[in-house]
Amino acid sequence: MAIASKAASPLRVVLTGNPNCGKTTLFNSLTGLRARVGNYAGVTVERKEGTILGLTSQRPVRLLDLPGTYSLSPQSPDEQIARDVLFVQLPEVPEPDLVLVVVDASNLQRNLYYATQVIELGHPTWVVLNMVDVARENGLELNVPSLSAALGIPVFPIVASTGEGLPALRTALDHETHRAGPLPEPRSFTELTESFGKEAESIESLLETELPERKRLAMAEAVLLLSDDRVLNTHAGKYPETIAFAIAAARNRLEAAGVDWRSAAIEARYARAAAIQMAVTTETSPPGETLSDRLDRVLTHRVWGLLIFVLIMGLMFQSLFTFAELPKSWLEAGVNALSSWVESSLPPGDFTSLLSSGIIQGVGSVITFLPQICFLFLFLSVLEDTGYMARAAFLMDRLMSRVGLHGKSFIPMLSSFACAIPGLMATRTIDSPKDRLVTMLIAPLMSCSARLPVYTVLIAACIPTRRLFGIFGLPGLTLLGMYLLGIAGALGMAWVFKRTLLRGEPSPMILELPPYKRPSLLVLFRHMWERSRLFLRRAGTVILAINILLWFLVSYPKISGSPAAETDRPTDQMRQSFAGRAGRFIEPVLIPLGFDWKIGIGIIASFAAREVFVSTLSVVYNVENEKAGSPSVANLANTLKAEKWPDGRPVYTPLTGITLMVFYVFALQCVSTVVVMRRESNSWKWPLFQLAYMTGLAWVLAFLTYQLGRACGWN
């Protein structure tokens, strides 16, 4: 009995290491294709967990992939999660039975800096020495037994991308499942100076009495607490006050004695890491320029580097904008076909309408994002796994820093041209929470693909097809102007936010440029699939619910039947509905912008998604639709041109068109963005703020456009 219950409880293994050391590749080859991907409670840090396959033992082995970390003194939400799991300070993750530290053999010193920190925590720990192939290529031979002796724990040399060395690791894991050995002796890899060591010891004994459950790692914890000036703030409540006081007092004493408590432990540890690295490494060939170095000479070159960057970004933008458009249009056609099939085969009524316009169209509006999201995630994975992402940030940092942003903000902003939702998701690579938030707040100002139908119809209806200087068509120039306006707005608002609301110390850009790697196709597609599925599950349900709500607002209350006016019914229904009433209710706010209540309905209804503006207007103006589905742009534009105010002036003048487009450039007319913003920022505060500031900005700028236009006699 006892054995059976022991067999059922899994062996909990945690995978940790520096960023880019190959953790995820190892995770994938150990767990096969089935992993659970989710989030840690309260943060958008990805949590990946799976069961190790190919073991003979009955006892399951659960593997948790931690985010990459340079040290146990966290600088980002990702690193904080890794630290908290290893310190057993995260309620949702129980204490690990075994820790695997992945160490990049081609970058041994810095990887050992982290590995020795983890070993000191006193969990049963093994080192997985990855990338031995890269080290070999660079002319470095590592002596595994002497590394194992120096660290005092087992070391497994592997090549995660080819599977070399994995059988030995699996065998060892098999043994581990029925082992009940003693916990390892505490070890220290830092020879502390006398004064620093004494202070650390007194904090250690205080920790032992205050937090007896973590007694074994008290010394490692004491050294980290003493030298890390942020952790006591970020972990307020996790440490008793007495400890905070003792640490402040110890630091004062050290400062008075002229000891730099921030660097003392770091210097001691690096000295040890360097000594170990020298002792275990033999250079088999003189160090020369690696393939990665040669690539970098082109890819970060003054001319070629920028040119290739523009090409790569162009390709990415193109694939989001055009290639994804094809599957997107199939999905849309499929959704429309299904919804009209439902309409024609079920008896007309509320239920049919709910099913076809509410539910099917709502599901449709979620899955039609899917191709773009998949393409984006595929691209991001390629950029990240090859190592090019860091170069993109390196190339663009100068430009982005002009408005106070980070080089890493460039790609989310570019993605937002396709759609703000993948753009918001792409901000996850930004470490500094404030920079990430600023990027998320401004990303939806980039003109996304859903604005294009709106611009197209309004340009066709309002902008004369004249030419400027004989070559530039006015419609094309207008469209370009709207895109540029969005970019200017985004950069301007970033500048404003960085100086006001989210002011903070400029976060230094200390970024590793990892060697280029050939990514594994399987890993890329898995990544794409896992992340897209998470999007569908989490954001999809809420987007669907809100779409159903909006359907209700345009469908109710029903007008009482007046069969005489059969052809006017949709228009009358629209006017009668809650949305129509709201449109008339907000008309006073719209008059100063030159809009009437019908445009108001369009604005309200298009809150579900901007492109809905077009279909709503065609219902409002009762445009004859072609049977196939979407209203033709030309028909709608002609109807709009003929539309008059009660006093006979045309409604859709060039000025109205420009004003309305300016409004759409700045307004956050997209439920899905709000929902995803809620998920990514983990509160309702930021999406609501974003909604308010963008709507306010849209109104004010539209007002200025219209009033200035009129004042200049342009109408």
Ligand X SMILES: Nc1nc2c(ncn2[C@@H]2O[C@H](COP(=O)(O)OP(=O)(O)O)[C@@H](O)[C@H]2O)c(=O)[nH]1
Q: Please tell me whether residue 283 binds another protein under the rule CB under 8 A.
A: no
Q: Give the interface segment with ligand X, choosing from 154-162, 318-326, 330-338, 406-414 (CB under 6 A).
A: 154-162
To the nearest whole angstrom, how small is the minimum distance from the Cβ of residue 18 to another protein? 10
Residue 219, both tokens: 């010394």
Stretch that binds ligand X, among 15-23, 352-360, 606-614, 663-671 (CB under 6 A): 15-23
- Please tell me whether residue 282 binds another protein under the rule CB under 8 A: no
Axis-axis angle for helices 241-256, 218-227 (nearest 10)? 60
Could you tell me how many residues of this chain bind Mg ion (CB under 5 A)? 1
Residue 605 and residue 612 in contact, taking contact as beta carbons nearer than 8 Å: yes
Q: Find the shortest distance in angstroms from Cβ 103 to another protein.
A: 13
Please give the structure tokens belonging to residue 90: 């995260």
| Binding site partner of 693, from another protein, ligand X, Mg ion, none, Cβ cut-off 5-8 A by kind | none
Q: Which two tokens stand for residue 381?
A: 């994975």
Distance between CA atoms of 424 and 535, rounded to whole angstroms? Answer: 12
Residue 63 or 225 with smaller CB distance to another protein? 225
**Cβ count near 187 (within 10 Å):** 16
Q: Report 368-397 residues binding another protein (CB under 8 A).
A: 390, 394-395, 397
Q: Which does 305 bind (CB under 5 to 8 A by kind): ligand X, Mg ion, another protein, none?
A: another protein
Shortest distance, position 301 Cβ to another protein, whole Å: 7
Q: What CA–CA distance (Å, rounded) separates 573 from 251?
A: 73
Binding mask 513-532 vs ligand X (x if CB under 6 A, - otherwise)?
Answer: ----x-xx------------
What 3-state DSSP class applies to 517? Answer: coil
Instruction: With beta carbons less than 8 A apart as the criterion, state whether 25 and 31 touch.
Output: no
- Which range touches Mg ion (CB under 5 A), out of 21-29, 289-297, 343-351, 423-431? 21-29
Interacting residues of 251 by C-beta distance below 8 A, sequence separation 6+: 226, 261
Q: Is 632 in the site for another protein (CB under 8 A)?
A: no
CA distances from 382 to 123, 275, 312, 378 (A): 34, 36, 11, 6
Alpha carbons 168 and 457: distance in angstroms, whole number: 64
67 near ligand X, rule: CB under 6 A: no
Single-letter code of the amino acid located at 501: L
Q: Indicate the residue among 444 and 519 with the shorter CB distance to ligand X.
A: 519
Number of residues that bind another protein (CB under 8 A): 44
User: Counting contacts by CB under 6 A, is residue 161 touching ligand X?
Assistant: yes
Binding at 149: pick from ligand X, Mg ion, another protein, none (beta carbon under 5-8 Å per type): none
**Amino acid identity at 381:** S
Planar angle of CA 401, 404, 410, nearest 5 degrees:
60
Stretch that binds Mg ion, among 19-27, 184-192, 215-223, 330-338 (CB under 5 A): 19-27
Measured CA to CA, the distance from residue 412 to residue 432 in angstroms comes to 14
Shorter beta-carbon distance to ligand X: residue 69 or 447? 69
- DSSP SS3 for 446: coil
For residue 228, state whether it binds another protein (rule: CB under 8 A): yes
User: Which does residue 176 bind out of Mg ion, another protein, ligand X, none, counting CB within 5 to 8 angstroms by kind?
Assistant: none
- Of residues 95, 191, 283, 512, which one binds another protein by CB under 8 A? 512
List 34, 302, 518, 649, residue binding another protein (CB under 8 A): 302
Task: Please report how close the Cβ of residue 290 comes to another protein at its closest, in angstroms.
Answer: 10
Q: Which does 519 bind (CB under 5 to 8 A by kind): another protein, Mg ion, ligand X, none?
A: ligand X
- C-alpha torsion 161→165→168→169, nearest 10: -40
The dihedral over CA atoms of 146, 151, 154, 159, expressed in degrees to the nearest 10, equals: -70
Binding mask 360-399 for ligand X (x = CB under 6 A): -------------------------x--------------
Q: How far is the CB of 270 from another protein (least distance, A)?
A: 6
Q: Are 490 and 442 in contact, with CB atoms under 8 Å apart?
A: yes
The site string for another protein over 397-426 (x = CB under 8 A, - otherwise) reads xxx-x-----x-------------------
Q: How far apart, in whole angstroms, are the C-alpha atoms of residue 279 and residue 288?
A: 21
CA distance linking residue 690 with residue 700, whole number of Å: 15
Structure tokens at 314: 């162009």
State the Cα–Cα distance between residues 392 and 310, nearest whole angstrom. Answer: 10
The C-alpha angle with vertex 216 and arms to 212 and 219, in degrees rounded to 5, equals 100
- What gap in Å lies between CA 405 and CA 436, rounded to an integer? 9
Which entry of another protein, Mg ion, ligand X, none binds 611, CB below 5 to 8 A by partner kind? none
> Which amino acid, 47?
R
* Binder among 10, 19, 186, 433 for ligand X (CB under 6 A): 19
Q: What is the DSSP string of 146-209?
A: HHHHHHTS-EEE-BTTTTBTHHHHHHHHHHHHT--PPPPPP-------HHHHHHHHHHHHHHHH
Per CB under 8 A, 190 contacts another protein: no
Nearer to another protein, 512 or 624 (CB): 512
Rounded (10°) CA dihedral 17, 22, 25, 31: -30
Nearest approach in angstroms of CB 440 to another protein is 23
- DSSP alpha helix (H) spans, 354-387: 361-367, 370-386
Which one of 58, 252, 263, 562 is in contact with another protein (CB under 8 A)? 263
Q: Determine if 509 is a binding residue for another protein (CB under 8 A).
A: yes
Rounded-to-10 torsion of CA 245, 250, 251, 255:
140
Phi, then psi, of 551 in degrees rounded to 5: -60, -45
Residues 256, 228: Cα–Cα separation, whole Å: 18
| H-run or E-run covering 674 | helix 671-681
| 24, 80, 372, 656: which one binds Mg ion (CB under 5 A) | 24
Question: Measured from the CB atom, is 202 or 300 closer to another protein?
Answer: 300
Residue 215 C-beta: closest distance to ligand X, Å = 31
Q: Closer to another protein at the Cβ: 76 or 415?
A: 76
Q: Residue 513 touches which of Mg ion, another protein, ligand X, none (CB < 5 to 8 A by kind)?
A: another protein
Shortest gap between Cβ of 352 and Mg ion (angstroms)?
48
Residue from 130, 177, 429, 555 touching ligand X (CB under 6 A): that is 130
d(C-alpha 568, C-alpha 456), whole Å: 26
- Residue 321 is classified by DSSP as I
Closer by beta carbon to ligand X, 138 or else 227: 138
List residues binding another protein (CB under 8 A). 70-71, 73, 75, 106-110, 113, 228-229, 260, 262-263, 266-267, 270, 274, 296, 300-303, 305-306, 390, 394-395, 397-399, 401, 407, 505-506, 508-515
List residues binding ligand X (CB under 6 A). 17, 19-25, 68, 130-131, 133-134, 159-161, 385, 517, 519-520
